[in-house]
Amino acid sequence: MLAASFAKLLWRSELGSAGWLRLCLLASGAAAAALLAGLVWLGHDGRIATYAAMIGATALSLWWVGFRPLRG
């Protein structure tokens, strides 16, 4: 929720058409997928690599909504 809120606040024009709830759900889903992949690949929670992947997935999902190339 924090990442989506800060992204919406900082990039108002780029994320103007995207709703806050959509951004939250997308970022949360991406982080959950990264966590699940980390659990499967590394065997348990608590690894720095899993947390880094969660941050990267959250940032990538927010970027995809606002800044992806060729968006229509």
Per-residue pLDDT tens over the stretch 21-59? 888 898 999 999 999 999 999 887 778 999 999 999 999
> Does this model's pTM top 0.85?
no
32 inside domain = yes
Domain span holding position 54: 2-10+18-67
3-state secondary structure (DSSP) of residue 12: coil
pLDDT value for 30: 95
72 inside domain = no
Model confidence at 10, pLDDT cuts 50, 70, 90, reads confident
5: pLDDT strictly greater than 90: no
pLDDT value for 53: 93
Question: Rg of the chain over CA atoms, in angstroms?
Answer: 13
What are the Cα distances from residue 58, in Å, to 18, 26, 63? 15, 8, 9
pLDDT value for 72: 53
* Domains identified in the chain, total number: 1
The token pair that represents 9 in the structure block: 């606040």
